[in-house]
Amino acid sequence: MAVYNYDVVVLGSGPAGEGAAMNAAKAGRKVAVVDNRPLVGGNCTHLGTIPSKALRHSVRQIMQYNTNPLFRQIGEPRWFSFPDVLKSAERVISKQVASRTGFYARNRVDVFFGTASFHDEQTVEVVCTSGVVEKLVAKQIIIATGSRPYRPADVDFHHPRIYDSDTILSLTHTPRRIIIYGAGVIGSEYASIFSGLGVLVDLIDNRDQLLSFLDDEISDALSYHLRNNNVLIRHNEEYERIEGLENGVILHLKSGKKIKADCLLWCNGRTGNTDKLGLENIGIKVNSRGQINVDQYYRTEVSNIFAAGDVIGWPSLASAAADQGRSAAGSAVENDSWRFVDDVPTGIYTIPEISSIGKNERELTQAKIPYEVGKAFFKGMARAQISHEPVGMLKILFHRETLEILGVHCFGYQASEIVHIGQAIMNQKGEANTIKYFVNTTFNYPTMAEAYRVAAFDGLNRLF
């Protein structure tokens, strides 16, 4: 068994692990990264964010081709199989892996491929893919092992027609009908993807509203457009049992309903990847979902061990995970690069997409904050008309007395890009955070960004 000494060892090479490793390396520390795959990138690159967003992009292009009258001169509408569309995602994954492999090489970060577990508070044992066991000793260790789909014991995930959000990427055919159990972010995104491929979707939600953390108007808009694309949404339902058949799946609900489809996609929660880390050897406890508790500096209950990304829970976004990892390393090496990550925009890649930051109307009303609303509907925006993307709106919530921007909510084409303009102004100090910025600034025309100017005028016109 070889023994290697490092300043910092990072477990996981997803966004959090990469962010941690790069920051520690830039601070002049000797760094190693361990990943249980033979390739870097983590679940984000191989199973989650990258493949699902690449799938969504391809499906959206297909939908655009099939609904744009201009393309009728080329030919009739076309439908593509799920495996065909998945090929575009595979190409993106390979490019991402190549890029990220280069990051580690350029920054002189050693990468070990294998399964890591704690021997003690400063020692990690790695069972490499070759079977060789290596021992890594470090002053500080950062856990960034990510998460995986939650799998209840009473659901047979070995059945060939029952999938979770990881195994769905191995689907080798296009089902005619699919049940998606769980209407959170992942479930809603896959409902968009499959319905865009012409698949009939039953989306099962155990709450009374889709993505209830969103602004009510945005949530309602998403529900409408999913239903408009043949997604049948069933609210306030819970499964009693899932019956796998030779030619399909029957979902038995506690309400007495039964639904049959070609296959079922389970999208109900995630679990932290902590069960194989040997945390019991160092006294770190996890919650019922396998997540590690950290303080605002991303330090665990063991002073030299930190954690970041999905393995600590909220917000479970690749964007936040990268910043959390960087901050965890900043805390570990004390190079003044730490910040507590709480200013996180929501990015939901349904079709159309959704993004928001700040407070929604429900929260402001409950807090009795006097706010006003400014809206810009995309159907009136020149760029949206040119792009044949009329669906959507930008909504700005601002204080009616100070004019401070309190929240930005966007639904439609390029929503996840548009939101960052509002985020930048919201982060300005004092009187610089004002809706007047958008009426006193010249925007390129035609752009989607000019929706801010339209929404600002709309909101200011409501004041008296």
C-alpha of 415 from chain center: 14
Q: Is 187 annotated as a binding residue?
A: no
Burial label, 167 (beta-carbon count in 10 A; 0-12, 13-18, 19+): middle
- What 3-state DSSP class applies to 448? coil
Contact 259, 251 (CB under 8 A): yes
Q: Is 39 annotated as a binding residue?
A: yes
Q: Is 160 annotated as a binding residue?
A: no
Contact 253, 236 (CB under 8 A): no
Q: Is 44 annotated as a binding residue?
A: yes
Burial label, 258 (beta-carbon count in 10 A; 0-12, 13-18, 19+): exposed
CA distance 101 to 90: 16
Q: Is 37 annotated as a binding residue?
A: yes
Beta strand extents in 381-459 (DSSP E only): 392-399, 405-412
Q: Is 155 annotated as a binding residue?
A: no
Contact 146, 311 (CB under 8 A): yes
Beta strand extents in 208-327 (DSSP E only): 231-234, 239-244, 249-253, 258-261, 263-266, 270-272, 305-307
Q: Is 336 annotated as a binding residue?
A: no
What length is written for the chain?
464
Q: Closest Cα to residue 183, out of 135, 142, 140, 223? A: 223
Q: Count the neighbouring beta carbons within 10 Å of the beta carbon of residue 250.
A: 15
Q: Annotated binding site: which residue ranges? A: 35-44
Residues at the binding site for FAD are 35-44
